[in-house]
Amino acid sequence: MDGRQRAGGDMSGFTLELTDDQKQIRDWLHGFAAEVIRPAAAEWDEREETPWPVIQEAAKAGIYSLDFYAQQFFDPTGLGIPLAMEELFWGDAGIALSIVGTGLAAVGVLANGTEEQIGTWIPQMYGEPGDVKVAAFCSSEPDAGSDVGAMRTRAVYREATDEWVIDGTKTWATNGGIAQVHVVVAVVDPELGVKGHASFVVPPGTPGLSQGQKFRKHGIRASHTAEVVLDGVRVPGHCLLGGKEKLDERLARARAARASGTSGERVRNAAMATFEASRHVVGAMAVGTARAAYETALDYARTRTQFGRPIVDNQGVAFQLADMRTRIDAARLLVWRASWMAATGKPFTAAEGSMSKLYASETAKDVTARAIQILGGNGYTREYPVERMHRDAAIYTIFEGTSEIQRLVIARTLAGVPIR
C-alpha cells in the first residue's frame, strides 16, 4: 500500500456512500414517484390543476406531512432533504411542487414563529390524510420580485384592538388563494427597507383575502400559482410571527443602526446565511428533473435504430449523453456539498448554496433540451415526457432567486462587497 492509499480508505472520514437508512428512504420515495407521481404527470400537466388525489396519496403514505420533512431535515449529513427532492421531482416537477409547496410556508413559520405559533399553524397547513390542505408563502409582488426591498404590501398595527391590518397585492404565490393558511410578508416600517419587513399568518377564511388571477404557465402546470389580493385584511396580534415584543426589539436595533450610520451588515449577513442554507433545495429539485430527462434519452438512444444501428452508436449522440450525465453528477455534488455545509454549520464563504442552485438549474434546462434533440420528432411531442420536463426545468432558473441573482450573490461574496 503506498502513502496515498493509506491516507484514503476508511480512516479519512470522508465518504459519499449513503447510509442504509438514506438508501431505504430514497428507494421508498423512488417507488412512490415511479408508481404514483409519474403515471399521473401528463394528465395534471394538461389539466393545469392542483392534483388533490395525488397529494392525498402522498399524505396517506406519510410523505405529505411536517413530520416527514422534519425527519429528513434533521439528517445529520444534510442529505435527507436533497435526496427526497431529487426522487419526488424525478417523478414529475409540477406534482412534486404541489406536494412540497406547503413546505415554503411551513419554513416561514418555523424560521420566524414562536413554539405556540408553530404548533398552531403548521398542522392546519397540512390538514389530515383524509382531508388534506395546502399553504402558501406570499412574498413576491408585481413590482418586487428580485428586488424584495421594493415591497409595498403594508401591515399597520392597531393597538386598541390588538390587530394588524394588511393591504397590498402579492403575486406568483404557489397555492395562493387555495391555501388553508397564507403566510404573508409585509412592510411594517417603510423607512427601514428589508429590515422593516415582518411575516404574518392569515388564518383560514379571513375576510379581505382573495385570489387574483391564476397564472397559465409554461411548465410545472400541476402546481397552482396565483395573485393574492389583501384588502383591509385584519389579523389578530398573535398572527405576527415571532410576536410584537421581538419585532419591536428588532426594529429598534435597525433604527439605531440607521441613526448611527452603521450599515446593519450583521443583520444582512444573517439573512443571506439563511438564504444560502436553503438554496440547494431547489438545486436538488432541478437534479431530479435533469436525471429524469437524461434517463429517458439514454433508453431511447439505446433502442432507436437509424442507418442500421442504435443511434447511441453515433459519437454525436453518445457524447451528448456523456455531457448530460457529467453535468448532472457535478450538479448533485454541488447540491450535496451545500446541504452538508448547512447541516454542519460551515460558513458559506463563496456562496456555495447559490452556486449549487445556479449550476443545477442551468443543468436542468440544458439537459432537458438535449433530451428533446436525442428523441428527435418524438421528443417534440406530448407522447413523450421530455418536452414537459424541458418546460418544467425553466422554472428552476427563475424562482427562489433567478440565475442572474445567484451570479450576483456569488460574485459579490467572492469580491467581499455587500450583497445589496
Check if 387 is active-site: no
Closest distance of CB 313 from ligand FAD, Å: 40
- Residue 146 binds ligand FAD (CB under 6 A): yes
Closest distance of CB 398 from ligand FAD, Å: 5
- Residue 139 binds ligand FAD (CB under 6 A): yes
With contacts defined by CB under 6 A, how many residues of the chain interact with ligand FAD? 21
- Residue 320 binds ligand FAD (CB under 6 A): no
Output phi, psi for 76, to 5 deg. Answer: -65, -20
Which one, 290 or 409, has the nearer CB to ligand FAD? 409
Closest distance of CB 115 from ligand FAD, Å: 25
Burial pattern 18-57, b for ≥16 Cβ within 10 A else e, equals eeeebeebbeebbebbeebbbebbbebbeeebbbeebbbb
Distance of CA 58 to the CA centre of its chain: 18
Residue with cell 433567478: 402
Q: In terms of DSSP bridges, do strands 181-187 and 135-138 run parallel, antiparallel, or are they unpaired?
A: parallel
Q: Of 3-11, 134-142, 160-168, 280-288, which part binds ligand FAD (CB under 6 A)?
A: 134-142
- Residue 199 binds ligand FAD (CB under 6 A): no
Which residues, 6 or more positions from 52, have their beta carbon under 8 angstroms from its beta carbon?
Answer: 132
* CA–CA gap between residue 311 and residue 317 (Å, rounded): 7
Which one, 297 or 358, has the nearer CB to ligand FAD? 358
Q: Of 285-293, 356-364, 366-374, 402-410, which part binds ligand FAD (CB under 6 A)?
A: 402-410
Which one, 233 or 311, has the nearer CB to ligand FAD? 233
Binding mask 53-92 for ligand FAD (x = CB under 6 A): ----------------------------------------
Cβ neighbourhood burial of 138 (10 Å; 0-12, 13-18, 19+)? buried
Give 324-343 as a DSSP string: HHHHHHHHHHHHHHHHHHHH
Q: Residue 231: which H helix or E strand, with range?
A: strand 225-236
Closest distance of CB 82 from ligand FAD, Å: 20
Of the residues 58, 166, 301, 395, which one makes contact with ligand FAD according to CB under 6 A: 395
- Residue 396 binds ligand FAD (CB under 6 A): no
- Residue 172 binds ligand FAD (CB under 6 A): yes
Closest distance of CB 300 from ligand FAD, Å: 28
Which one, 379 or 401, has the nearer CB to ligand FAD? 401
CA-nearest of 306, 285, 268 to 33 is 285
Q: Residue 383: which H helix or E strand, with range?
A: none
Of the residues 267, 273, 398, 419, which one makes contact with ligand FAD according to CB under 6 A: 398
Which residues, 6 or more positions from 90, have their beta carbon under 8 angstroms from its beta carbon?
Answer: 30, 33, 288, 289, 291, 292
* Active site (catalytic) residues: 400
Write out the residues near ligand FAD by the rule CB under 6 A.
104, 137-140, 145-146, 172-174, 217, 220, 225, 395, 398-400, 402, 404-405, 408
